[in-house]
Amino acid sequence: MHACTESTELGLYTRPVYNLSREDSSHPLILVCEHASRYIPDALNNLGLDDAAAREHIAWDIGALQLAEKLSETLGATLLSANYSRLLIDLNRPRHAPDSIPAQSEIYQVPGNRDLDEATREYRRQNLFKPFHARLQTLIDERVAQGQAVRVVGIHSFTPVYYGQPRPLEVGVLFGQASAYAQRVIDGLDQYPLKIAGNQPYRIDPLGDMTVPVHGDARGLESVLIEVRNDLLRSPEAVSLWAERLAPLL
């Protein structure tokens, strides 16, 4: 598209858009980690954020990739994970959602996304968003065509403090149409002394979410999104513990 070639970010996205692990797995589960990375090309100067803010939860889901990788290893399941920060474009938001390319995230201003021209927005959509979702769609298409069972699960983490308010919740199971699948996961986690809830700390919204509504619900596939509070994912031992809890339930 001509508009894309006019972007000031032309040629910056040379790193692969995603990592794909265990592509040929026969396990029905496809794990998705849309917020796996905080990587922003050096030329964009952290989008105007200082180094501390660029390492914070606004740039990625801390611990989510490690948990997704451990689940993939434990189950032998396919994992598709992102290689760029969600501040560039959020892979779990529809392309035209207001916070797809956020100028503000929670209490943080993101100067590099403010007053961004449409050519650059479209360039990010074409070079980061579109390839990720095209690959996920193809993974699902191939398995459905072969008559294989498919479940799609997003792995996320959330910050323990949001707009200054502590969050006592430890794990949430977010769902749209797959309420029975979500309840099985919630019931399985109930054996542990955890603060658990369905559709908390967020709710699945077809206007504000991608993976569950588009790749799961719209295709009639069981699909949920797992949210673990990120202070509970800060060590390899903690990640292993969560993987041990979640793997049999997914």
**Residue 241 DSSP code:** H
* Distances from the Cα of 226 to the Cα of 48, 73, 125, 199, angstroms: 30, 17, 25, 10
pLDDT, mean of residues 9-18: 96
Three-class SS state of 105: strand
Q: What is the pLDDT of residues 173-187, one digit of tens each?
A: 999 999 999 999 999
Q: How far apart are CA 32 and CA 180, in angstroms?
A: 20
pLDDT score, position 133 = 98
- Pick the more confident residue, 3 or 159: 159
Q: What is the pLDDT of residues 93-110, one digit of tens each?
A: 999 898 999 998 878 889
pLDDT, mean of residues 234-238: 97
* Contact of 90 with 101, CB cutoff 8 Å: yes
The correct CATH number of 2-249 out of 3.60.15.10, 1.10.10.10, 3.30.70.3420, 3.40.630.40 is 3.40.630.40
* Contact of 170 with 230, CB cutoff 8 Å: no
pLDDT score, position 5 = 53
Which residue shows structure tokens 């986690």?
189
Where does residue 16 fall: left (phi above 0), alpha (psi -120 to 50 degrees), or beta otherwise? beta
Q: Which of 102, 98, 88 is nearest to 132 (CA)?
A: 88
Q: Mean pLDDT for the chain?
A: 95
Q: Which of 15, 35, 44 is nearest to 89 (CA)?
A: 35
Checking if the pLDDT of 4 tops 70, the result is: no
